[in-house]
Amino acid sequence: MHLRYSYRVYPTVGQRSALARTFGCARVVYNDALAMRKEARKGGLPHPRATDVQKQVITAAKKTAERAWLASVGVDPLIQSLRDLDTAYRNFFDSVSGKRQGRKVGLPRFKSKRDTRQSLRFTRNGFRIRGNGKLNLAKIGDVRVKWSRALPAEPTSVTVVLESSGRYYASFVVDVEPEILPRLDAEVGIDLGLTTYAVLSDGSVIDNPRFLRKAEKKLKAVQRELSRKAKGSKNRAKASRKVAKAHAKVADTRMDWLHKKTTSIIRETQAVYLEDLNVRGLSRGRLAKSVHDAGWSTFRRLLEEKAARYGRTVGIVNRAFPSSQLCSECGHRDGPKPLAIREWACTACGVVHDRDLNAARNILAAGQADRLNAPGGPVRPGVAIPLQAQPDERGTRLSDLTGTGGRTAGAGGAPALQGGVDVNLCPPCHGPCGGSRRCPWRR
């Protein structure tokens, strides 16, 4: 399986300008190729072949007066830039034909000089790791790397990224064998929310850290500073880098936290079951900021990646599954309840439930049932076959495998307003839909 390992790199002033030049060239080549393909499409001509495109926008272009500067940078990142365009087109065509699932993918767009994030990919011939630990990039030089952990194997490619905060990263793709952990009996269902981040079916609770909310004051201050600077001035560029840095800090803290939590869950359980949350639908509402701050998609993605790597299972329960209406003791469907109710007694068996814990137990049961019945398809209407996690190229950063993560015990009632977040949310979607017709979960 492919994993990504990222390290901070510190290019010198000269290397930074060489990188900037290469970022620019890669962008121009990409845009030229895109223009060429658009032209062919407009003229009703067949999609040009990749080799022909490369010949025209790199090899031939270098010989012209207006593109002669393309020769001053390494050719490898330029070719990789064209590969990215081909991938973008392939995704578009697959999406149109239905071969690719999920959200529709649009046509590739032109890259702008003002894009905040810049990146370059070097393949095997374009980079080398020196004996002294420096990263040699073709036509850039030996760049200093902070090796925060060891690479597990020889990398196949490296992407150099410049973030809007001004930080440089080298992200290596490494091919590694999965490390199957010893089997466990423990399986867990997870109910995600905003009041508490997650309630697990074993009764443990993960509090919502609300990193963005906590940093809001600081973010506001730097944003205000930015708004007062004259457009196009150097001070404005400085202030905008400050804003990007503040945001990057929040994102880093959140990512680190998510890694620790997901690692400890994957280490301690054989199978994890989650609800399929409609994050996209929620992130447009009144709670957009809180939903974004929670990072549910990343939480799920990290669980799936780590499960694939360590031989565990992640099951996704269909979002139509009424996890908060069923009694986890007797299976009686009690119907929807007012949103403020955190605890309720089953009308059939009388057991008193904590809403989230009951939901987590239902998710566990539904996930296990789906898993057992997976070959034959869903047993109940509205319950999907759990997705088996697939090895993914995107990164797992397992710097903290030994960390246990701080799971604290104790669920229970919650105030109606906590940390500025309204907890009177729709039970199925945890959203502000009021549990009514508009709920994105009820479709």
Q: Give min distance, CB of 333 to Zn ion, in A.
A: 10
E-only strand ranges, 215-371: 271-275, 313-317, 343-345, 352-354
Q: Give min distance, CB of 340 to Zn ion, in A.
A: 21
Contacts of 377 (CB under 8 A, 6+ apart): 385
How many residues make contact with Zn ion (CB under 5 A)?
7
Q: Give min distance, CB of 361 to Zn ion, in A.
A: 11
Q: Give min distance, CB of 206 to Zn ion, in A.
A: 26
Q: Give min distance, CB of 335 to Zn ion, in A.
A: 12
Q: Cβ distance 7 to 159 under 8 Å?
A: no
Residue among 308, 212, 214 nearest 262 (CA): 308
Q: Give min distance, CB of 106 to Zn ion, in A.
A: 48
CA distance 254 to 407: 16
Of the pair 184, 352, the CB lying nearest Zn ion is at 352
Binding mask 61-90 for Zn ion (x = CB under 5 A): ------------------------------
Annotated catalytic residue: which of 32, 275, 334, 354?
A: 275
Compute the Cα dihedral for 101, 262, 172, 71 and give only its sign. Answer: positive
Of the pair 41, 333, the CB lying nearest Zn ion is at 333
Of the pair 290, 362, the CB lying nearest Zn ion is at 362
* Annotated catalytic residue 191: yes
Length of the chain, in residues: 443
CA distance 33 to 54: 8
Q: Which strand ranges, in their side-by-side order, compose the sheet holding 271-275?
A: 313-317, 271-275, 187-192, 196-200, 204-207, 408-409
* Annotated catalytic residue 275: yes
Tokens of 422: 């309204």
Of the pair 222, 346, the CB lying nearest Zn ion is at 346
Annotated catalytic residue: which of 76, 163, 268, 356?
A: 356
Asked if 438 interacts with Zn ion (CB under 5 A), we say: no
Give the footprint of Zn ion on residues 319-348 (CB under 5 A). Answer: 327, 329-330, 332, 346, 348
Of the pair 92, 344, the CB lying nearest Zn ion is at 344
Of the pair 283, 325, the CB lying nearest Zn ion is at 325
Annotated catalytic residue: which of 191, 293, 304, 305?
A: 191
Q: Cβ distance 220 to 226 under 8 Å?
A: no
Q: Give min distance, CB of 301 to Zn ion, in A.
A: 35
CA distance 189 to 54: 50
CA distances from 39 to 29, 48, 235 (A): 15, 10, 41
**Residue 166 burial by Cβ neighbours in a 10 Å radius (0-12, 13-18, 19+):** middle
Distance of CA 111 to the CA centre of its chain: 22
Instruction: Out of 71, 151, 181, 349, point to the residue binding Zn ion (CB under 5 A).
Output: 349
Of the pair 181, 341, the CB lying nearest Zn ion is at 341
Q: Which residues are catalytic?
A: 191, 275, 356
Q: Which residues of this chain interact with Zn ion, rule CB under 5 A?
A: 327, 329-330, 332, 346, 348-349
